[in-house]
Structure 1
Amino acid sequence: MKKLLFSIPLCAGATAAYLAYPISHEEPAGPPYQLLPKASYHDHPNKHFLTKIPKKIGVVGGGIAGAIVAKTLTQQGYEVEVLEQNSGAGGLWWKNYDGCGLQLPYPHYNLPDFEFPEGTEELPRLEKVKKFVEDYMTTFNLWPLFKFNTEVVEISQKPDESWSVKTKKGEKKDYDFLVLCTGPYNKPHMPNLPGKENFKGRVIHNAEFINAKEWCQGKKVVIIGSGKSAFDVLGQAYKYGAQPTIVMRKAHHFTPIDQKFHGIPFGYLSSSRFGFLFQYPFYCEKSFINKYFKWLGDAYWKVLENALNEDLPSELVPTTAYKNEKFFRGGSRERDIFNEIKKGNLKVVRGAVEGLAENGVIVGGKLIEADLVVCATGYDRNYFGLPAENDGLWMYRNTLIPDKKNFAVVGITNTYCNPLYTNMQTVWLAEVLRGRVNLPGYPKMIDDIKQRRDYTRTVINGEDTISFSWFSYPTIDQFVRDMGLETKRKPNNFSFWFEPIKPSDYKSVVTHRV
């Protein structure tokens, strides 16, 4: 008994000392990250993927991913041209539906070397995010690199394995290397709605929900969907005097931005490395708990799930486990909208849409009257003929297709803290081009892709892999390790294990390298 009493404070003291122990970072604060490729083609380690050291690089898509790629690669000395179909930068943030905004609090959308201004609201709307992208473009002098009103309709690889791009205007552009940055949301998906031709009202995708005030005042609006965009549209329709109803087959887990669990910020438990210990392992990242105590992980996430659901009306309680949905769904809950639902001012109907009648939507054999139907039903991806499978485009490090030389895809995969992931992905790509990251041979790249694909399908089957958002810790760690850098980016072990990712943790990766 005496030994036990002695060991308890000893273990507690050792744990406290470990958590408080500072983490040293050996990366020097050298000159800005402006370095030409290290290797000549003769001694380049990635000759099996590159046919030559590229000079001119084309980028398809001018959203935040396209801007990050342009900034990073021009700092490496490449000639970069970005082709964007809209007349302004930002992709979906240039123009989108009324009420569109960030899905997570803005600090998660910061970049390592560029942040939202202080005083920004937690979930900024479209105009604020658009300005953030435009200010990033101005700060790094990216505007001259962008060719606006230039929609790409076809990409093709030439006999010498460089790339040719055809635009809607009939132009043909050639590049040594091509980067696809069209993002995960580039083709609005409209469901098949039997009876649509008989409906007397208007049916639109949420991407077309632009004239909200004009279309909603005094109208009956039905929103089909259960994601963040569906709730955005619901809120705007109510704001502009509609009688709105949201129809969903299943509810998803949304977290209030100020949610706490017994006084602990929810992010410390659900979006930290500690939380990841209890999650399904990434295909090459298996924690001790995941390996031997899976039941503990299930219990951990069930407790958090109950905390999230305790104040929800029954219509909004998800049937899918929070542990599963943490990967690929969710976002931040806007309390005002959920409170109006609890008051009965906003109607929620659970069920599948069976079709349309003259004056409404049929769900479960019952008619819900509608003047306007908004389909918040997600997006399809345009892969431009690339070798995608039914559940998505499987790539090495989510970036490279082994069979397609001189080509990369950036920003098409969703993750928590998405712009940070895209930034790390782009710096990794720059180091591949530079020869500082040595790619494995073709067989090993294929084996790595197969291992991740086969394992992923055991965790979530039938969902598009592009929507399958692993915690960004292991995926970012992969990039950082490949570059020979320290994965522990926090000041001490407590922050490393319990604080969610901060983009500023990775500032030296982006701005100062040797």
Structure 2
Amino acid sequence: MTGRGSRSGFRVAVIGAGTAGVATARVLSEKGFDCVVFEKHSKAGGLWADNYYGASVQMPKSMYVFPDEPHSEEASEFMGMDEVCDYLERIIDKHEIRKCFRFNTQVTEMKQLDGGIWSLTVKDLKTDVSTDDTFDYLVMCNGTFSSKPHRPNFRGQEKFEGKIMHSSEWRSADEFAGKKVVIVGMGKSAVDACMVASEVGKSAVQLVRSMHWFTTSHVGFIPTDVVVFTRFFQMMLPPFYSSSSVYKRLHKLTAPVRWLYFRTLEALMLTNYRLPRKLWPRSRLEVDLLHPALFDGPRQYLADVRSGRIDVKMTTIDEIKEATVVLSSGEEVEADLILLGTGWDKTIGLFNDVILNRLAVEEDGIWMYKNILPPGIDRMAFIGSNAFTAINPVTHVVQAKWLAAMLTNEMPTPSRKEMEQDIWN
């Protein structure tokens, strides 16, 4: 894409200053590229810069960290959103890349000109002034699950005399104080809301279609990281798409061993949960491993469920009345506030129709080479948008380094045909 001696003046636009954006800016800047990071918030953090009340990372700090930037001993084991933002801000200052960042700036339009150059229209959110700028390369680091809350519609919701809010709008425990709160969902935000509602609210009812597996600090008596981060555990997972045919055949032959392994893990995890049988997950652990609900379940949540302070009902909403919620089971629950912990819709809102067509966007997203390069568009990459792992910051750094190797010709850039063959074969 660009020779080793021609990086100076090669401008790269990075959209978003979360962990992916900071990792990309640092790696590319160290390689000599002229990076400009656009972030609509006033500080680094991405989704952590503006999140729901009490939001925190759902994995230990030892896993949510850049490879060469350990957290301080004072950092919480499960860091809050302010701690994550402060961590990223420290990295920006330590590596002297703050000049790359344009905070309070929102990209409102982008288009690709002849020759592959990108033209971006950006708005200064403080002055409300828009300007145009051009770049040689575009890196999307703003994710696809952070701009459009998923809000299911319910029959009769317009009659409700209380408040219906998405978890992204929740900003204070006071909003739950003394109220009968109904929480919809089983994800991290829903679980956090349940704990607060059980503490300050009059009642906390959680509605879930089904319970999912979530990790605890130990699997039985064994630390979770000792179980999960091993070559043996990796062998129990579905083979990677590029694995050899021999490995895939061997994997099929060991199906009984894998079945027994995961059933054993489930039994050990249930000893940690100590939940009534009716609340046991019905799905298999190896399936839920790929589900975003697999997070570190807070002990307090499990304790509140066991004590009944959080009333978990495995059902859905059939109808909403003035002061009650009618469930599909036929039960009617009193409610002053309904909180929707229902996640986000996958959106790619910055792109015009021309770009969307070239990206070949499907219902479940975009097919990309190595989950980074879209075959249909040159001079564009996605970092952190199409790959979810338990160690996202490390993944973002690896992706950024891989992209840097492409841009510096340390690795050859594959043709569109080669990318598509890798994706579809």
> TM-score, normalization: structure 2?
0.89
Contact 2:323 2:334 in 1 (8 A): yes
Give the Cα separation in 1 of the matches to 2:208 and 2:419: 40
Distance 1:58 1:341, change over 3 A: same
Q: Secondary structure at the match of 1:327?
A: coil
Equivalent position of 2:365 in the other structure: 392
Q: State the number of aligned residues.
A: 403
Identity of aligned residues (%): 31
Superposed CA RMSD: 2.1
- 1:291 lines up with 2:252 in the alignment: yes
Q: CA deviation at 1:273?
A: 2.1
Aligned match for 2:112, one of 153, 157, 160: 157
Deviations 1:281-320 (A, max 9, x none): 1112346751321221122111101211232233531111
Give the Cα separation in 1 of the matches to 2:53 and 2:278: 25
Give the Cα separation in 1 of the matches to 2:135 and 2:362: 26
Equivalent position of 2:299 in the other structure: 335
Aligned match for 1:309, one of 250, 260, 270: 270
Q: CA deviation at 1:56?
A: 0.7
Q: CA deviation at 1:444?
A: 1.8
**1:110 counterpart letter in structure 2:** V
Give the Cα separation in 1 of the matches to 2:112 and 2:2: 23
Q: Secondary structure at the match of 1:82?
A: strand
Distance 1:334 1:438, change over 3 A: same
Q: Secondary structure at the match of 2:290?
A: helix
Equivalent position of 1:197 in the other structure: 158
Contact 2:197 2:203 in 1 (8 A): yes
Q: CA deviation at 1:40?
A: 6.0
Contact 2:39 2:104 in 1 (8 A): yes
Aligned match for 1:351, one of 305, 311, 315: 315
Contact 1:184 1:411 in 2 (8 A): no
Equivalent position of 2:171 in the other structure: 210
Distance 1:290 1:53, change over 3 A: farther
- 1:441 lines up with 2:415 in the alignment: yes
Equivalent position of 1:406 in the other structure: 379
Q: Which runs of 5+ in 1 are unaligned?
A: 1-35, 42-51, 452-514
**1:180 counterpart letter in structure 2:** M
- 1:375 lines up with 2:320 in the alignment: no
**2:381 counterpart letter in structure 1:** A
Distance 1:122 1:288, change over 3 A: farther
Give the Cα separation in 2 of the matches to 1:260 and 1:325: 16
Distance 1:447 1:82, change over 3 A: same
- 1:235 lines up with 2:190 in the alignment: no
Deviations 1:314-357 (A, max 9, x none): 35311110011112330111111111110111111111222322
Matches within 5 A, 1:32-431: 39=4, 55-168=10-123, 169=128, 170-187=130-147, 188-213=149-174, 215-257=175-217, 259-261=218-220, 263-285=221-243, 286=247, 289-310=250-271, 311-329=274-292, 330-364=294-328, 365-383=330-348, 384=351, 385=356, 386-412=359-385, 413-431=387-405
Deviations 1:253-288 (A, max 9, x none): 11112x144x43232223422101011111123467
Give the Cα separation in 2 of the matches to 1:249 and 1:315: 13
Contact 1:205 1:376 in 2 (8 A): yes
Deviations 1:420-454 (A, max 9, x none): 01110000000000011123332121011113xxx
Give the Cα separation in 2 of the matches to 1:118 and 1:211: 28
Contact 2:180 2:201 in 1 (8 A): no
> TM-score, normalization: structure 1?
0.74
Q: CA deviation at 1:62?
A: 1.3
Q: Secondary structure at the match of 2:54?
A: coil
Give the Cα separation in 1 of the matches to 2:39 and 2:20: 12
Q: Secondary structure at the match of 2:300?
A: helix
Q: Secondary structure at the match of 1:332?
A: coil
Q: CA deviation at 1:367?
A: 2.1
Give the Cα separation in 1 of the matches to 2:9 and 2:415: 20
Q: Secondary structure at the match of 1:377?
A: coil
Distance 1:138 1:339, change over 3 A: same
Contact 2:8 2:33 in 1 (8 A): no
Q: Which stretch of the first structure deviates more once superposed, 119-128 or 303-312?
A: 119-128
